[in-house]
Structure 1
Amino acid sequence: MTARKTAAPTPPAAAVSADAHWAATRERLLNRTRPIVRLTICDDHDAKQALAEARFVDQQAQDAADRDPGNEAAKAAHREAVAGLAQAQTAVDAASIVLRFQALDRKTYKELLAAHPPTEDQAEDGYAFNLDTLGPVLIAASSLDGITEDDATQFLDDWSQAEAEALLNTAFGVQREERMDLGKG
């Protein structure tokens, strides 16, 4: 049996005329950057609490101003709450460490997964890869801030369970970040 070669399909003229901007659309698609996500770490409990309180005060002031649009005192209170919220956010931002992670290209990600096969026990539990060996490698590979594999291993070993999981989930999550909306045409 011989394989039959077929010519590449030519889009129908009606389709081309319906989307005269395909070249520009295609160019935008080719120039998309891979997703980036941020993990924000703030160890200053007081600053985080002040921010939560400022958000609450801002929401209350906004509600009061919305209920009585002509009330100048409510408007002034809302402006003051907005300023307080901005100040609290600035304090949290100053106390925070922000780590950035970018999705790897699909081929690299698949190669990393394949390079870290599960142990027998992990495979029996349904895992497709070895999280213990892949985690630090993936964190380092997707970090935009220069986290090394050694750094990642140390963070995963030294941080609390919840914080280590947040770090891992961020590195894995960015690989699955979806920026598409499948709507009705």
Structure 2
Amino acid sequence: MTARKTPAPTPPAAAVAADAHWAATRERLMARARPVLKLTICDDDEAKQAVNNARHVEQQAKIEADRNPDDEAAQAAHRAAVTALDDAQAVLAAVSIPLRFQALDRKTYKALLAAHRPTEDQAEDGYEFNVDTLGPILIAASSLDGITEDDAQTYLDTWATSEAQALLNTAFAVQREERMDLGKG
């Protein structure tokens, strides 16, 4: 599935002619894709532990190789550790389930929030929306992998609390993902 992009209105020709730099900058700004976050699910503890172990061995081998750049055995051990880590990561990727979520456009997100007002109890607890009704809709709307509202509701109802919360948090977090730096120019 391709990333959703902001449609670009055509600027006046006089403005483009007056400032070609701004026209190029504007074109790049209009072509930006909305943020995407990934939630990876893996039920295989052995595969996760194998990656952790391989990563530790690779780091130790790298330290030894960096200390002894002329020691071919240390260099070979590091290359072997890198290969073992790559292999362990490939196994982990094969048994994992990546879910991708993309931020909705601002108008759509605000409309969803407005359509799911909090209950009285939720409002008293400081909520600005009804997470119970909005959650599955937001998960489905922001999923790049085709999660339906029914699927989302099933996951939220049947997964362990922390896992359901991670799913929900990812769908909300991508809406607030910031890719800007307000540093000095």
Determine if the TM-score, normalized by the shorter chain, exceeds 0.5: yes
What do residues 9-67 of structure 1 show as CA deviations (whole Å, max 9, x unaligned)? xx9xxxx77xx521111000011111111111111110110001001011111111111
What code does the residue aligned with 2:142 have? S
The range that moved more, 102-111 or 62-71, is 62-71
- In structure 2, stretches of 5+ residues that fail to align are 1-14
Which is greater in Rg?
1
Give 1:38-77 correspondences, 5 Å limit.
38-77=38-77
Give structure 1 regions of 4+ aligned residues with deviation exceeding 6 angstroms: none
Aligned to 1:145: 145
Distance 1:95 1:50 in 2: 13
Deviation of 1:130 after TM superposition, in Å, equals 0.5
Distance 2:182 2:61 in 1: 38
Distance 1:67 1:127 in 2: 55
Aligned to 1:37: 37
Deviation of 1:158 after TM superposition, in Å, equals 0.7
What do residues 112-152 of structure 1 show as CA deviations (whole Å, max 9, x unaligned)? 00000000011111110011111001000000111111100
State the aligned residue count.
170
Distance 1:32 1:173 in 2: 18
Aligned-pair Cα RMSD in Å: 1.5
1:180 aligns with 2:183: no
- In structure 1, stretches of 5+ residues that fail to align are 1-10
Identity %: 72
Distance 2:69 2:160 in 1: 48
Give 1:1-185 correspondences, 5 Å limit.
20-185=20-185
Deviation of 1:68 after TM superposition, in Å, equals 1.5
Distance 1:130 1:78 in 2: 52
3-state SS of paired residue (1:21): helix
What code does the residue aligned with 1:101 have? F
What code does the residue aligned with 1:162 have? S
Distance 2:23 2:72 in 1: 53
Distance 2:27 2:169 in 1: 32
What do residues 62-120 of structure 1 show as CA deviations (whole Å, max 9, x unaligned)? 11111111111110000000000000000001001111110000000000000000000
3-state SS of paired residue (2:37): strand
Distance 1:183 1:69 in 2: 39
Aligned to 1:4: none
Query: What is the TM-score when the length of structure 2 is the normalising length?
Result: 0.89
